[in-house]
Structure 1
Amino acid sequence: MAITLTEAAARHVTRYLSRRGQGLGVRLGVKTSGCSGLAYKLEYVDEIAPEDLVFENHGVKVIIDPKSLAYIDGTELDFVREGLNEGFRFNNPNERDRCGCGESFRV
């Protein structure tokens, strides 16, 4: 079981946490949403709960709640720039389908 970050994603998170002035890492999880059923949620973390799972890549902690891990195990989090757009991309091997707008996915 593992969640990984690319170097680009780790650089982006590190820069953001530095500007923010606090934070232990980034929390990756899923929530019920959208037309395909699940959506990724990503937030910066100031506290780690005892039940959280912590993965570290390129010096950045990725915190996962145990319920989300079944849906995102093996996911690689990347940060991409395409033209004027930039954002995180989730490369999830468990993903079987994604809605047309890209907001939600199904496993």
Structure 2
Amino acid sequence: MITISDTAAERLKEMLAEQETPNMFLRLGVAAGGCSGFSYAMGFDDQESEADVYMDLKDMKVVVEKDDLKYLNGLEIDFEESGMTGGFTIHNPNATVTCGCGSSFRTAKDAGKPNEEPC
């Protein structure tokens, strides 16, 4: 299960409303790379495939590729205001190692594998 805070959902809905392409949704995923092994992917999309799982979170359509679910199960997404800017934060209970900026991670299953990119 993936959790999106009310604050993050509000910000995401605002961003979705600004998209010019109709029927856009939030796509979450992971990609190999980053200083800890995997990087998070979060963006808007309008294309689904048979490899995707659909969820309705906070009245938003959220899509995750089936293979990425094992890395994202339990993921918590929040949005924090800080000064003049703000940003999304991610807490992943599956991550055993994260980089200093929090944009990449490694799980216990992947420990010992070489990193794709340096920090």
TM-score of the pair, normalised by structure 1? 0.88
Displacement, 1:48?
Answer: 2.0
Please give the root-mean-square deviation of Cα atoms over the aligned residues, in Å: 1.4
Displacement, 1:23?
Answer: 3.5
Unaligned 5+ runs, structure 2: 108-119
Which residue is equivalent to 1:46? 46
Displacement, 1:88?
Answer: 1.3
Q: Find the structure with the greater CA-based Rg.
A: 2
Q: C-alpha distance in 2, partners of 1:101/1:6?
A: 20
Which residue is equivalent to 1:80? 80
Give the ranges of 4+ consecutive aligned residues of structure 1 lying more than 3 Å apart after TM superposition.
none
Identity over aligned pairs, percent: 35
Displacement, 1:18?
Answer: 0.9
TM-score of the pair, normalised by structure 2? 0.80
Q: How does 1:1-107 map to 2 (within 5 A)?
A: 2-21=1-20, 22-107=22-107
Q: C-alpha distance in 2, partners of 1:14/1:84?
A: 20
Unaligned 5+ runs, structure 1: none
Q: C-alpha distance in 2, partners of 1:97/1:83?
A: 28
